[in-house]
Structure 1
Amino acid sequence: MKPILTDEQLVTQLSQSSKPAFEEIYNRYWYKLFCISYHQTGSKEEAEELVHDLFESLWNRRLESNIKHLSSYLVISLKYLITNLVKSRITWRKYQEYVLLNKMQEISSTEDNVQFNDLSAAIDRAMKKLPAKTSRVFQLSRFENQSVKSIAKELHISEKAVEYHITRSLKLLQDDLWIYQTDN
């Protein structure tokens, strides 16, 4: 039976490129990190990918890192990766909103009011396909310009739920309104 190494011993061995030390760190912390990641993302695939990225980074930076408390280091590093994922989601959602609203403005500024009226009717039909709460969240966000925080407070739901409903609305609108998109 091999001796159980402390985190400090594992970090020392890792800095010397010990693959068995890396494997022990992985085995010791993978599940805990996966649970944290899954709780934050709600997606098994994203959680696994984030934990994989964390361990890949740990191995790639093994010679330059100065880890004092392994458990804390891993959890904080994972939370940093999760934060970056959330920021990228927000950026992507903002981009989708920009494209959608830009297309709406292009059509409204053209002389062809029939197309604009068709688009308005298509938006109304798409909004009616949404569940009531999702539609309400989108209306408060996009048509009444309320913040995520104020919508969450008004509807008694979490900010994460508000973001989910907005993303869901945008996806449906994008899918339903694809015919109005142009190549330029």
Structure 2
Amino acid sequence: MGVKELTDKQLVVLLQEGNIMAYEEIYQRYWYKSFTWASHQVGAADAEELVQELFLSLWNRRTEVVIKRLDLYLAVAIKNQVYTFFKSQLSYRKYQEYLLFKELEESPDGNQILNFKELTSAIEKALSRLPEKSAEVFRLSRYENQPVKEIAKHLNLSEKAVEYHLTKSLKFLKDTLKSYQSEN
């Protein structure tokens, strides 16, 4: 009997014994379902990464976990992956905001409250001075919160090229906005 004819329970037993063919069959049966659910929550690029982490974890922890129902185990595991992803994204954004406000407080004009429209206008003016590709990468990353992998795919660039454009635009904006703050 081939692995395709085995039940989930039989596959789990073989998985725990380290049978790679059982693992591959579980992957084939549940990858798309896990990916579909996760992509509705976080988008395709991040979902793919989360599902890969899920199955990597399944293999690495195969001898430690007790799996009574494989379908339920994987459903709960992918939901936990998505929850952890959202939690880390929220923490990262809060940290970015903290750094921005800290930098504004420590600037020579730290007591001055910046007008949001003026700041937005200054950012857009600075972005217009960047090369088109760098400005587009910045907008996709910071305004649309797209990950590097997704931007690279969308713009047909390598991930390193996207990181280069982001670094270049962030440095340029930081330098430009510092001079903007000292002028006001």
TM superposition shift of 1:106? 1.9
TM superposition shift of 1:18? 0.9
TM superposition shift of 1:93? 0.4
Determine what percentage of the aligned residue pairs are the same residue: 40
Matches within 5 A, 1:2-41: 2=2, 4-41=5-42
Matches within 5 A, 1:152-163: none
CA 101–169 in structure 1, closer or farther in 2 if over 3 Å, else same? farther
- Structure 1 counterpart of 2:100, which letter? L
**Cα contact 1:51–1:78 (8 A) shared by 2:** yes
CA 74–169 in structure 1, closer or farther in 2 if over 3 Å, else same? closer
Separation in 1 of the partners of 2:85 and 2:117?
35
Name the structure 2 match of 1:123. 119
**Cα contact 2:123–2:173 (8 A) shared by 1:** no
TM superposition shift of 1:47? 1.1
143, 156, 163: which one pairs with 1:168? 143
162, 167, 174: which one pairs with 1:178? 174
**Cα contact 1:122–1:177 (8 A) shared by 2:** no
TM superposition shift of 1:168? 2.6
TM-score, normalization: structure 2?
0.63
